[in-house]
Chain A
Amino acid sequence: SQKIEQNSEALNIQEGKTATLTCNYTNYSPAYLQWYRQDPGRGPVFLLLIRENEKEKRKERLKVTFDTTLKQSLFHITASQPADSATYLCALEDTDKLIFGTGTRLQVFP
């Protein structure tokens, strides 16, 4: 069956450290994968898109990797701040539709 898995448990890290979130998928062959941030009661906000032929992409303090052999994407936030606390969702393309993982809650404490 098809699955997209993210760490279901919350990730708690100290301010200034690097947060690393994982997204693993099974039985998909996405042309691209995206990461979103979602705050409580709000819609997701697009962060980064990485295509199947790209291994890494960066945007300011964010870095995403995409390993199509391992079927995994890693999302890094460097120099994390309390304002980065939110739920982060990975989503992958499947026949022109976007399928979401369950998300990982990140809590950055001072």
Chain B
Amino acid sequence: GAVVSQHPSWVICKSGTSVKIECRSLDFQATTMFWYRQFPKQSLMLMATSNEGSKATYEQGVEKDKFLINHASLTLSTLTVTSAHPEDSSFYICTTVRTSTDTQYFGPGTRLTVL
């Protein structure tokens, strides 16, 4: 079964609204989760590293005030896209690592479409 879940699987919103995406680790506790974004026919680009109980670490070029990350528990990280614009339309994927096996598990992704 799934090890990492995401909700919602897809969302359509109007420009200017905020959208929250949840990522849950179902099988083990995850002190660290990673958020990626993938545009059509492109690679996965790391956006930020979500750390339980502390601030997220953002990659260069990713606006921390636009992409709010909260990792309040060992099994849940949320990504909120604030004031979404059409150029934020993308496939957002979270992932976490089972450290005992060095295996990385990806969520099924969330397709965001901003009109």
One digit per residue, 1 when the CB lies within 8 angstroms of any chain A CB and 0 when it does not, for chain B 93-110 equals: 101000000111111110
What is the total number of residues of chain B having a CB less than 8 Å from a CB of chain A? 21
A102 within 8 Å of B by Cβ? yes
Query: A62 → chain B, closest Cβ, in Å?
Result: 15
A82 within 8 Å of B by Cβ? no
Determine the distance from Cα of A98 to Cα of B49 in the docked complex, in whole angstroms. 11
Cβ < 8 Å to B, chain A residues 86-110: 89, 91, 97-103
A42 within 8 Å of B by Cβ? yes
B60 within 8 Å of A by Cβ? no
Query: A105 → chain B, closest Cβ, in Å?
Result: 9
B34 x A97 contact (CB < 8 A): yes
Dominant SS at the B interface?
A: strand
Given known A46-B104, A97-B49, contact A41–B109 (CB-CB < 8 A): yes
What is the total number of residues of chain A having a CB less than 8 Å from a CB of chain B? 19
A46 x B103 contact (CB < 8 A): yes
A42 x B108 contact (CB < 8 A): yes
Cβ < 8 Å to A, chain B residues 41-84: 42-46, 49
B111 within 8 Å of A by Cβ? yes
Residue of B6, B102, B105 ringed by the most chain A CB atoms within 10 A: B102
Determine the distance from Cα of A89 to Cα of B95 in the docked complex, in whole angstroms. 15
Determine the distance from Cα of A99 to Cα of B111 in the docked complex, in whole angstroms. 21
What residues of chain A have their CB less than 8 Å away from a CB belonging to chain B? 32, 34, 36, 41-46, 49, 89, 91, 97-103
Known: A97-B49, A98-B95. 20 other contacts (CB 8 A): A34-B104, A41-B109, A42-B108, A43-B6, A43-B93, A43-B95, A43-B106, A44-B44, A46-B103, A46-B106, A89-B43, A89-B44, A97-B34, A97-B46, A98-B46, A98-B104, A100-B43, A100-B44, A102-B42, A102-B43
